[in-house]
Amino acid sequence: MSMLEIEALNVWFGKSRNRVDAVKGATFTVAQGESFGLVGESGSGKSTILRAVTGLAPTWSGGISVAGAKVIKKRPKSFFKTVQMVFQDPYASLHPRHSVDQVLGETLHLHGFRSIDDRVVKLLDDVGLGQKFRFRYPHQLSGGQRQRVAIARALAPEPKLLLLDEPTSALDVSVQAEILNLLADLREEHKLTYLMVSHDLSVVGHMCDRLAVMKDGEIVEIMDVAALRALQATHPYSQQLLQAS
């Protein structure tokens, strides 16, 4: 089964003369359990695709299906039990005055879970933080620890599909690998499907099964990571990207 189907997706911002066509005719499918990468230079439309899936980019046309169900413009709460997103910058994505306990507890409550205390403890263990971080505030955490909290929050509703928007690029190089390893472990343990944006081909080579290369809002190539490793890109832009890394 495919977990995500994107069909002839167009996403734009603004009107008439100010209109920006951020994504143009993107089509790809992510199988259940697969990790799929989106690469391309800054401004090529990668984040916009993720934002269109979660409803953060309101003007789009084309088809988006998640777990076999067509996504409609007004997403029901149940949608976010299936799909969650992790943003690039954990400094911006966590409320400074909410403790870790509040962030996770409120998310669990919102999704109708019971035994919230036990679940908070479990989530903190799952992301390798543990109990001692439970009552801390974001300013009492390192960048890597904050991103672990953001990942725990995304896992709280027990989603099937995680949208990861450059989840390590705001972090120190020394902790990037730790977070990537955590994400790889979580995918296995929780049988997750990933759609992961990165501008770093080595990250995608390490984390993904297949990838799409984007340029100026369009997908110019879809390939296996094996082809990436073998430097076998057919589109000239992909070749350029490979050579540059």
Binding site for ligand ADP (CB under 6 A): 13-14, 20, 22, 40, 42-48
Q: Least distance in Å: CB of 163 to ligand ADP?
A: 12
Q: Least distance in Å: CB of 195 to Mg ion?
A: 13
Nearest residue (CB) to Mg ion, 47 versus 168: 47
CA 50 to CA 131: how far, in whole Å? 32
| Number of other residues whose CB lies within 10 A of the CB of residue 34 | 18
Question: Which tokens hold the place of 90?
Answer: 């954990």
Closest CA to 53 of 40, 62, 42, 43: 62
Given the rule CB under 5 A, which of 42-50, 79-87, 167-175, 231-239 is the region that contacts Mg ion?
Answer: 42-50
Q: Least distance in Å: CB of 82 to ligand ADP?
A: 22
CA 83 to CA 206: how far, in whole Å? 23
Nearest residue (CB) to ligand ADP, 45 versus 144: 45
Nearest residue (CB) to ligand ADP, 58 versus 112: 58
Nearest residue (CB) to ligand ADP, 23 versus 223: 23
φ, ψ for residue 38 (rounded to 5)? Answer: -120, 120
Closest CA to 155 of 131, 181, 119, 200: 119
CA 92 to CA 112: how far, in whole Å? 26
Given the rule CB under 5 A, which of 11-19, 43-51, 128-136, 154-162 is the region that contacts Mg ion?
Answer: 43-51
Q: What is the largest CA-CA distance in the chain?
A: 54
Q: Is 107 in the site for Mg ion (CB under 5 A)?
A: no
Which listed option, Mg ion, ligand ADP, none, makes contact with residue 25 (CB within 5 to 8 Å by class)?
none
Q: Is 44 in the site for Mg ion (CB under 5 A)?
A: no
Q: Least distance in Å: CB of 54 to Mg ion?
A: 14
Q: Least distance in Å: CB of 244 to ligand ADP?
A: 16
Q: Is 198 in the site for Mg ion (CB under 5 A)?
A: no
Which listed option, Mg ion, ligand ADP, none, makes contact with residue 168 (CB within 5 to 8 Å by class)?
none
CB 162 within 8 A of CB 84: yes
- Alpha-carbon torsion (111, 113, 118, 119), positive or negative: negative
The CA-based angle 233-242-188, given to 5 degrees, is 85
Which of 47, 82, 84, 168 is in the footprint of Mg ion by CB under 5 A? 47
φ, ψ for residue 209 (rounded to 5)? Answer: -95, -40
Contact residues for Mg ion, defined by CB under 5 A: 47
